[in-house]
Amino acid sequence: MAKYPRVREQNIAVFGEAGSGKTVLVSSFYGPTQEGSYVNDLWDLVARQTGQGHRLYQNFLGMRDNATVPIQTRFDNTTYEFSVKLKAGDEPEGKKRPFDELRLAWHDYPGEWFTDDPSSLEERDRRTDTFISLLRSDVALLLVDGQKLLDYAGEEERYLKSLLGNFRQNLLRLKDDLLAENGPLVEFPRIWILALSKADLIPDWDVSTFRDLVILKASEDLERLRSAIAELIETPEALSIGEDFILLSSAKFELKPGGQDPVEIDVRQRVGLDLILPIASLLPLERRVLWEQRMAIPRKVVDSLADGADVIAAALTGAKFVNVEKLLNKFIKADKRAEFVAKALPMLAAAVAMAGPKLREINEEARAHNDYLRAMLTQFKLDLDQGVSDKVIRTQK
């Protein structure tokens, strides 16, 4: 068995009603990385299923070359699997990097299941099984459709209450099945980001405008959703809902001059999609540190919360790989949580604290030495910081 873990997989679950743009988002996430003109000096994005990759790239080319939007999928639960393959090369002085490949599983939950009742017991079971498959994710995106906000301008609460209420009801319908075997769930998405899809339709909004609208118009509905999720999980204190927001746009959609149809689609003008990999990779690590600093989290919850955080932290800081999970098990078994907080948690906190000129300096140094893993992760962190500065993303601190 290899001494170091070689592959690190992150999972992200995407929820949105039918027509909210989920297929367009994933196509625009993947498509630009396949163009002949695309250049990335650190890594390549590869679809792990060839046919799936071809379909996504075909969707993207249809938007780019023919101004056609992908056909809306109905009742399809799909997991898109990607590999972020690092360029060849190792750290100087023969040090072995903690892992060589980052994988992303993008779970797409069918939008129709928000609003339509199951037509049979078989379909109900399929919905439950699909939802269970999402539970590996630390991060979930709940899409708020920008077009719907425009349609309900001045009375946005009608749409937001319906969206959040339908999702809450969907969870309540699944509750008994989800809790039937072992009671409150240990593994469950703990970070729920509200994402404004089709953000290009409201170009004068930044992420604070979006957040303020949601809180003004639907704060009680958001709290009811949070309470419904809290009833499903163990240690509900380790849960973020209504604290993280992002703007997402797959492209800029415009009507051609002098007509209503077809639509001109500028795929070069994307918003937020370059933050998906940084969010999936680093946000769970940051949130785990925050929660462990604030509360005593039970061991079995910690084991499922941002698992692999030690590997990410080691790669990000360039420190010698230390198995934080082993330290955690050792200290908790010996009833020495305080010792864990003193000795192991700082390893994770140091990675989270990297910022500013020092972070940029580390990134440049990693690039210069062909330390592709550290360069990629520090670039992810720089991208997140830039997203905050550009008011595209707002996260809990």
With a cut of 90, say whether residue 91 has pLDDT above it: no
Pairing of strands 263-266, 252-255: antiparallel
Cα(396)–Cα(240) distance, integer angstroms: 8
Nearest to 384 by CA among 281, 290, 267, 314: 281
Cα(263)–Cα(350) distance, integer angstroms: 48
Q: Which two tokens stand for residue 81?
A: 């699997």
Cα(311)–Cα(4) distance, integer angstroms: 9
Which of 94-108, 129-143, 313-327 has the weakest average pLDDT? Answer: 313-327
Nearest to 363 by CA among 377, 375, 372, 351: 375
Check if the beta carbon of residue 251 is closer than 8 Å to that of residue 269.
Answer: yes
Q: How many helices (H) and strands (E) does the chain have?
A: 14, 10
pLDDT (0 to 100) of residue 154: 95
Which of 53-67, 71-85, 102-116, 154-168 has the weakest average pLDDT? Answer: 71-85
pTM of this prediction? 0.89
With a cut of 60, say whether residue 61 has pLDDT above it: yes
Check if the beta carbon of residue 105 is closer than 8 Å to that of residue 81.
Answer: yes
**What secondary structure letter does DSSP report for 234?**
S
Instruction: Count Cα atoms within 13 angstroms, Cβ side, for 144.
Output: 30
Which has more pLDDT, 49 or 117? 49
Cα(236)–Cα(227) distance, integer angstroms: 9
With a cut of 60, say whether residue 391 has pLDDT above it: yes
With a cut of 70, say whether residue 331 has pLDDT above it: no
Angstrom distances, CA of residue 371 to CA of 94, 197, 325: 11, 35, 25
Which of 32-41, 157-166, 264-273, 341-350 has the weakest average pLDDT? Answer: 341-350
Check if the beta carbon of residue 225 is closer than 8 Å to that of residue 37.
Answer: no
pLDDT tens track for 187-232: 999 999 999 999 999 999 999 999 999 999 999 999 999 999 999 9
